[in-house]
Amino acid sequence: MVPQLSWYLALSAVLFTTGVVGVMIKRNVISMFMCIELMLNAVNLTFVAFSSFFRDVTGQLFVFIVMTVAAAEAAVGLGIIISIFRNRESLDVDDASTLKL
Amino acid sequence: MSSEQFFTAYCLLLTDMLRYIIFAPLAGAAINWLIGRRVRNERFIGLVACGSVGISTIIAFYLAFKSDGALRSTQPIMDHLWTWVQVGNFRADFGLAMDRLSGIYVLFITFVGFLIHVFATGYMHGDGGYYRFFAYLNLFMFAMLTLVLGDNFLLMFVGWEGVGLCSYLLIGYYLDKDEAAPAAKKAFIANRVGDWGFVLGIMLVFFLTAAKGVASISFFDKPAQGVNSALATIAAMPIDGFTWHAIFAGGITSVAVLLFIGATGKSAQIPLFVWLPDAMAGPTPVSALIHAATMVTAGVYMLARCSAIFTHAPTAMFIVAMVGAATALFAATIGLAQNDIKKVLAYSTISQLGYMFLACGVGAFIAAIFHVMMHAFFKAQLFLGSGSVIHGMHHEQDMRRMGGLRKYMPITWITMVCGWLAICGVPIWAGFFSKDEILWKVWVAGPFNLPAGAAKALWFIGIVTALLTAIYMTRLMVMTFWGNERFREADHHHDEHHHDVAHEPHESPLSMTIPLIVLAILSTIGGLVGVPYAISSLAGGHPENYFEETLAPVISTVPSARVPEGATENLRWLSPPPQEIDGKPAVAPVGEAPGSATSHETPNPAEITEERLLALVSVMIALTGISIGWFVFQKQPVRAMPRLLENKYYVDEIYDVTIIQPIKVGSREGLWKVFDLGVIDGILHAIGGSIVRLGRTIRYMQLGFVRGYAAIILAGALIIIGYFAYNGASALRFLVK
């Protein structure tokens, strides 16, 4: 059975929804961070699937950009998380609700 | 420097000399304000103040009487300083002009002003605010001369407001007097009411002339600036009808009535006269200069200047005559019962101003100006005399505490006798000629602006006023200079530090008596410049009435019953064409065929007899009044006068109840509490409050919880996706057009 485009899209939707739900329900900032990564990679999967389907390399190029941005975002995000942890001694995002450090 | 160069420089200096008349006092004011306040040397301050006015006086006399001076040629002397307003063809310049009318005004303003400045150096001796007083007084001279010399309505208005300001400053000069500040405020506010009319009148002149071609508010034709005289434009328009309707028609009558409202404020006529008696809270030289001799006659000047407007508005002239006569009589009756020597003179001033307006109202503008000038002499004399008395009595103004002063102050007494005889209208003294002239002109006033019989009624009011004037002035003189000496009586509660020392009255210093003497001489013989033919022919003298002849070319006259029908064509001029110096007048007087060589109308013998008879009547009236006053008050100087008169007909109280309190209460309860606090503050608070409430609501979106924001982002994303999912690709059409 040859994988259809719809399979990839369905997997991507599942991954993305998992990421969204994870961001919404998780309090641990690391988990939220991982869920965000999950969403990004779900989108990446869609890009690659469409790229293969349309025989167009543009989508794959875009994936590289997304990965680069994700790496940068991970660096900044982890920096913020460390900073919050030093101040709050907690990884619970609800503890960081005063809009300041 | 060669003589030719010198001559050129001399001519240059002369052409611009008019400006020095107004700027010399301004410089004096500036010097006294900036330097005098530091030097604090009375001699220096007095010298600057008197010197600057003295310069004005000398220049004014030179410009008026030189060979082609203002009073000797029909062409005004012009001095264009700078362009003030220029919009299209409309111009209002800072330009000065001295013609025969403003020339006469400037002469007596500067001369009487100079004498009063000299007097004030003695009167204000030892006062803490000496520099301030003279700075204000000089500033007043500047403003008054600007008012008179301004060649257009707008500049006149600048002077008009300037004198109002100086009047305010000087009435409130005594900062420690309780009544001074409210009196100053009252004068200022009453004048603002009048100014409202004046400003609207100027605007209407603008629109009227604009409707006739080029808008102008200038008094004179100024070819160099391309300005036409607004007065000439109006003079060329048809005469308004004599109806009440004309007042609100927006035509010439409306202009005249509005200008007259301005004049009632400045010249203290009914209904705006209430400020003048209170203005006596200022120093006495101020009362003499501003509130008797010069500023209050600005209204008469304005009417005479605008005679072309008024002679086209019979309704307005009727109103002027009625208000003038009513004021004359009304104020004279109040003056009868006042005990403050300055209050008597204040009401006398109002009454005499009423006379002047009565004269304007019957078209006798020249007689009005004549009376203005004579009044400046004798009223300044009387006020300065009263100032001398007050000075000698150590600031006592109540005549009930005077009496018998002629022994102590002989010069003041004799000079005041001259002023007294002048105001009563005893022959030879100045007031006789001017007052008699007015009464005669009222008697013969034509049907142009007065219903049948009104002229005679007005004459009767005039003669009753003359009688009352003689009575109250005699009362003043008797209470002050004759009778028993009442100033030693107890109850000098007012000045405790002077306890029993120096209560003897004393004669004033020379700086005060010399102006008194000069003014007394002028009050005595000043009237000889305008002796009417009917009187002068008695003595077999020359028939010219110099004063009338001087002013006739610049004043419009009304068509009267005694002028033949065809002659009215000659009345519609104002700015006469240039003429050769000392030649025949450019415009022939009324009642004479144009082009005839002599300028004297041949008087009708019957008329002359009538005039002489009336003069005799007014002399009799004056003498009757003096004898009534003498015999009534000689025996018992302090007698109870009717309460109604003593309380000034309760006019202040009536104004308080009918106008001031409603405005105060309406402002406080309505404008402040309802409108300001309710509406204005209400709107602002409502706007502010609703934004606060909105912010409080929206604030819940910014909880600070990361997952909250994530939820909002998710919701937004879902909405957008949902929108496109629901509408399909067609929703994107706006992107691709």
Q: Do A94 and B714 touch (CB under 8 A)?
A: no
Q: Contact B332/B288 with Cβ under 8 angstroms?
A: no
The pair of structure tokens assigned to A73 is 């975002």
Q: pLDDT tens, B241-259?
A: 888 888 898 889 999 999 9
Specify the higher pLDDT residue, B362 or B541.
B362
Structure confidence at residue B506 (pLDDT) = 86
Q: pLDDT tens, B439-458?
A: 999 998 878 888 878 899 99
The pair of structure tokens assigned to B515 is 């102006």
Q: Rounded to an integer, what distance in angstroms lies between the CA atom of residue A20 and that of residue A92?
A: 18
Is a pLDDT exceeding 50 seen at residue B436? yes
Give mean pLDDT, residues B4-33. Answer: 79
Provide the pLDDT confidence category of residue B641 given band limits of 50, 70 and 90.
Answer: confident
**Residue tagged 């219903």 (tokens):** B451
Q: Contact A35/A54 with Cβ under 8 angstroms?
A: no
Is a pLDDT exceeding 80 seen at residue B603? no
A96 contacts in B (CB within 8 Å)? Answer: 704, 706
Give mean pLDDT, residues B661-676. Answer: 92
The pair of structure tokens assigned to B325 is 């006569």
Give mean pLDDT, residues B601-622. Answer: 84
Closest CA to B156 of B230, B208, B225: B230
A33 contacts in B (CB within 8 Å)? Answer: none
B705 contacts in A (CB within 8 Å)? Answer: 93-94, 97
Q: Do A94 and B710 touch (CB under 8 A)?
A: no
Give mean pLDDT, residues B582-603. Answer: 42
Q: Rounded to an integer, what distance in angstroms lies between the CA atom of residue B737 and that of residue B732?
A: 9
Q: Rounded to an integer, what distance in angstroms lies between the CA atom of residue A92 and that of residue A84?
A: 10
Is a pLDDT exceeding 70 seen at residue B352? yes
Provide the pLDDT confidence category of residue B737 given band limits of 50, 70 and 90.
Answer: low
Structure confidence at residue B72 (pLDDT) = 84
Q: Rounded to an integer, what distance in angstroms lies between the CA atom of residue B421 and that of residue B114?
A: 24
Output b/e per residue, A33-61; b: 16+ Cβ within 10 A: bebbebbbbbbbbbbbbbbeeeeeeebee
Is a pLDDT exceeding 50 seen at residue B103? yes
Q: Rounded to an integer, what distance in angstroms lies between the CA atom of residue B709 and that of residue B371?
A: 91
Lowest mean pLDDT among B326-335, B370-379, B540-549: B540-549
Task: Report pTM.
Answer: 0.79
B711 contacts in A (CB within 8 Å)? Answer: 24
Letter for the amino acid at B204? L
DSSP code of residue B96: E
Q: Do B707 and A24 touch (CB under 8 A)?
A: yes
Is a pLDDT exceeding 50 seen at residue A25? yes
Structure confidence at residue B256 (pLDDT) = 94
Provide the pLDDT confidence category of residue B560 given band limits of 50, 70 and 90.
Answer: low
- Shortest CB distance from A98 goes to which of B704, B707, B714? B704
* Half-sphere exposure at residue B653, Cβ-oriented, CA atoms within 13 angstroms: 5
Structure confidence at residue B679 (pLDDT) = 93
Specify the higher pLDDT residue, B484 or B268.
B268
Q: Burial level of B646, CB count in 10 A (0-12/13-18/19+)?
A: middle
Percentage of residues in chain A having pLDDT higher than 90: 66
Give mean pLDDT, residues B36-63. Answer: 92
Is a pLDDT exceeding 50 seen at residue B100? yes
Give mean pLDDT, residues B679-706. Answer: 90
Provide Rg for chain B, Cα atoms: 32
Specify the higher pLDDT residue, B590 or B705.
B705
CA of B734 vs chain A CAs: smallest distance (Å): 25
Q: Do A93 and B705 touch (CB under 8 A)?
A: yes
CA of A91 vs chain B CAs: smallest distance (Å): 12
Structure confidence at residue B575 (pLDDT) = 38
Structure confidence at residue B496 (pLDDT) = 47
Q: pLDDT tens, B158-203?
A: 999 999 999 999 999 999 989 999 999 999 999 999 999 999 999 9
Q: Rounded to an integer, what distance in angstroms lies between the CA atom of residue B602 and that of residue B605?
A: 9
Residue B721 touches chain A, beta carbons under 8 Å:
no
Domains of chain A (ranges; CATH) run 26-90 (1.10.287.3510)
* Helix spans in B82-236 (H): 100-123, 130-149, 153-171, 180-211, 230-235
Is a pLDDT exceeding 60 seen at residue B587? no
Is a pLDDT exceeding 90 seen at residue B10? no
Structure confidence at residue B503 (pLDDT) = 65
Q: CB-based contacts of B638: which residues, under 8 Å, 6+ apart?
A: B400, B479, B486
Provide the pLDDT confidence category of residue B538 given band limits of 50, 70 and 90.
Answer: confident
Closest CA to B714 of A29, A17, A71, A95: A17
Give mean pLDDT, residues A4-10. Answer: 92
Which residue of B lies nearest to A27 if distances are taken between CA atoms? B707
Q: Contact B642/B337 with Cβ under 8 angstroms?
A: yes
Length of chain A: 101
Structure confidence at residue B14 (pLDDT) = 60
Is a pLDDT exceeding 50 seen at residue B583? no
Lowest mean pLDDT among B223-227, B310-314, B329-333, B617-621: B223-227
Lowest mean pLDDT among A18-32, B552-566, B581-595, B615-629: B581-595
Closest CA to B327 of B357, B297, B301: B357
Q: pLDDT tens, B282-304?
A: 999 999 999 888 999 999 999 99
Q: CB-based contacts of B46: which residues, under 8 Å, 6+ apart?
A: B117, B121, B134
Give mean pLDDT, residues B664-669. Answer: 93
Q: pLDDT tens, B499-524?
A: 444 568 888 889 999 999 999 999 99
Which residue of A lies nearest to B710 if distances are taken between CA atoms? A24
Best residue of A92, A97, A98, A99 to probe chain B, by most B CBs closer than 10 Å: A97
A20 contacts in B (CB within 8 Å)? Answer: 714
B700 contacts in A (CB within 8 Å)? Answer: none
Q: pLDDT tens, B457-500?
A: 999 999 999 999 999 999 999 999 988 888 877 554 454 444 44
Q: Contact B163/B298 with Cβ under 8 angstroms?
A: yes
Q: Rounded to an integer, what distance in angstroms lies between the CA atom of residue B381 and that of residue B372?
A: 14
CA distances from B310 to B64, B235, B238, B253, B568 (A): 27, 10, 12, 8, 15
Q: Burial level of B652, CB count in 10 A (0-12/13-18/19+)?
A: middle
Provide the pLDDT confidence category of residue B528 given band limits of 50, 70 and 90.
Answer: confident
Structure confidence at residue B567 (pLDDT) = 41
Structure confidence at residue B7 (pLDDT) = 60
Helix (H, G, I), strand (E, B) or coil at B135: helix
- Shortest CB distance from A93 goes to which of B702, B706, B714? B706
Give mean pLDDT, residues B344-363. Answer: 94
Is a pLDDT exceeding 50 seen at residue B310? yes
The pair of structure tokens assigned to B130 is 């000496």
Structure confidence at residue B3 (pLDDT) = 64
Percentage of residues in chain B having pLDDT higher than 90: 55
Is a pLDDT exceeding 70 seen at residue B565? no
Residue B715 touches chain A, beta carbons under 8 Å:
no
Which residue of A lies nearest to B708 if distances are taken between CA atoms? A24
Is a pLDDT exceeding 90 seen at residue B681? yes
Provide Rg for chain A, Cα atoms: 17
DSSP character string of B631-671: HHHHH-SS-PPPHHHHTGGGHHHHHIIIIIHHHHHIIIIII
Sign of CA dihedral B50, B51, B53, B58: positive
Q: Rounded to an integer, what distance in angstroms lies between the CA atom of residue B260 and that of residue B198?
A: 7
Residue B702 touches chain A, beta carbons under 8 Å:
yes
Is a pLDDT exceeding 70 seen at residue B529? yes
> Mean of the per-residue pLDDT values for chain B?
86
The pair of structure tokens assigned to B708 is 């909250």
Structure confidence at residue B513 (pLDDT) = 92
CA distances from B593 to B74, B287, B447, B569, B574 (A): 20, 47, 22, 11, 18
Best residue of B702, B705, B709 to probe chain A, by most A CBs closer than 10 Å: B705
Which residue of B lies nearest to A95 if distances are taken between CA atoms? B705
Q: Rounded to an integer, what distance in angstroms lies between the CA atom of residue B198 and that of residue B154?
A: 10
Q: Which residues of A touch B (CB under 8 A)?
A: 20, 23-24, 27, 29, 32, 93-94, 96-99
Q: CB-based contacts of B543: which residues, under 8 Å, 6+ apart?
A: B533, B536, B537, B600
Element (H, E) at B496: none
Structure confidence at residue A43 (pLDDT) = 95
Which residues lie across from B96 on neighbouring strands?
A: B79, B150
Is a pLDDT exceeding 80 seen at residue B239? yes
CA of A98 vs chain B CAs: smallest distance (Å): 6
Provide the pLDDT confidence category of residue B640 given band limits of 50, 70 and 90.
Answer: confident
Q: Contact B257/B312 with Cβ under 8 angstroms?
A: no
Q: Do B706 and A96 touch (CB under 8 A)?
A: yes
Residue B126 touches chain A, beta carbons under 8 Å:
no
- Shortest CB distance from B710 goes to which of A23, A29, A96? A23
Q: Rounded to an integer, what distance in angstroms lies between the CA atom of residue B141 and that of residue B156?
A: 14
Structure confidence at residue B40 (pLDDT) = 84
Chain A and chain B share a number of CB contacts under 8 A equal to 25
CA of A1 vs chain B CAs: smallest distance (Å): 31
Q: Burial level of B612, CB count in 10 A (0-12/13-18/19+)?
A: middle
The pair of structure tokens assigned to B96 is 């000065």
CA of A57 vs chain B CAs: smallest distance (Å): 25
